[in-house]
Structure 1
Amino acid sequence: MTVALAAVAAALLVPAIATPAAAAEDSCATTGAEGWLKFSWSGKYRIDPLKLMVEDQLGDGHHVAVRLVTNRADGTIHHWGWHHNYEGVDIMQVWNTYASDSAGITKAEIQVARMEGSTIMNLCNSGKIANPNW
């Protein structure tokens, strides 16, 4: 009977220890641009894999861009670099990447912008997605 109870206890503990990374996704749209992110939390300090996508939705001669924005454990905000789409209207560009920050990542979101050169014409933010590892 003790062996049977130990086997049941072991069966219950394994799923609790071997939980998969938490997947998340969100999007936002602003005039002329729509963007998406899909990712998995890989602990307190890393998002991997991370997929960023942006589409130009207005044939106005301006380009669109997407970037990751994360909150750190100390409360500061990290604005990651812009990924620009110069391909034109109705063309989606996708970047498969990751994010790692030794200061921790407690929340993640994207910003999507319609741009003229490096000037932001209009912008949206997706919802902030909390890291369940914190």
Structure 2
Amino acid sequence: MKRYLAATAGVMATACLVLTTVSAQPAAAAWRGCTALWSDGFEAPHAAASGGGDQSYTGKNSLADVSLYVKDLRADGHHVAVRLVTRRSDGSNHYWSWHHLYAGEGTDQTWNTTATDSGGIHTVWRQIGIFEGDSLLNSCVTDGESNPQW
């Protein structure tokens, strides 16, 4: 009986150590994406940009390993961009800076960064845009994902 209790205690101690080790890791998110459509008015809307990304949650106010991805799908004279959007704990949205890709059809780019907001990061998504100069012509947004730290 003493051997059984000692073995059980050893297994429990190991399990606690494993659980502690796993829970210390940042919570990773699944990659989410969308496709933005554009029409010049003379044809049906077509896919012009796609993009998305993922991130790791490191707390109620911070993200690590934030990836922002965009791809230009059409030779239409417009450029594409991607940005992070987060919802703060008070319900307001934080629209982060756009990251533009000017290289043309078939090109793509990924930006890797972090994000910290003292107002909290409750929900995370990305906006993919089609631009003419500084004017946003159309966009799509990825599905939002709640921060599991909340």
TM-score between the two structures when normalised by the length of structure 2: 0.82
Note the C-alpha offset of 1:61: 0.6
Query: Which residue matches 1:13?
Result: 16
Instruction: Specify whether residues 60 and 73 from structure 1 end up closer, same or farther in structure 2 by C-alpha distance, changes over 3 A only.
Output: same
Query: Which residue matches 1:115?
Result: 131
Structure ID, larger Rg: 2
Note the C-alpha offset of 1:63: 0.4
Q: Which runs of 5+ in 2 are unaligned?
A: 38-47
What is the rounded CA distance, in whole Å, between the counterparts of 2:119 and 2:145 in structure 1?
A: 17
What is the rounded CA distance, in whole Å, between the counterparts of 1:100 and 1:38 in structure 2?
A: 15
Q: Alignment partner for residue 27 of structure 1, among 29, 33, 42?
A: 33
**Matching of residue 100 in structure 1 with residue 103 in structure 2:** no
Identity %: 40
What is the rounded CA distance, in whole Å, between the counterparts of 1:130 and 1:73 in structure 2?
A: 11
Q: Alignment partner for residue 87 of structure 2, among 71, 81, 86?
A: 71
What is the rounded CA distance, in whole Å, between the counterparts of 1:114 and 1:27 in structure 2?
A: 15
Deviations 1:49-85 (A, max 9, x none): 1111101111011100100000112221111010000
Provide the aligned length of Structure 1 versus Structure 2. 134
Give the partner amino acid of 1:65: A
Query: Which residue matches 2:69?
Result: 53
What is the rounded CA distance, in whole Å, between the counterparts of 1:14 and 1:101 in structure 2?
A: 32
Give the partner amino acid of 1:45: N
Note the C-alpha offset of 1:26: 0.4
Give the partner amino acid of 2:35: A
Deviates most, 6-15 or 110-119: 6-15
What is the rounded CA distance, in whole Å, between the counterparts of 1:36 and 1:14 in structure 2?
A: 35
TM-score between the two structures when normalised by the length of structure 1: 0.91
Deviates most, 6-15 or 91-100: 6-15
Q: Which runs of 5+ in 1 are unaligned?
A: none
Note the C-alpha offset of 1:41: 1.2
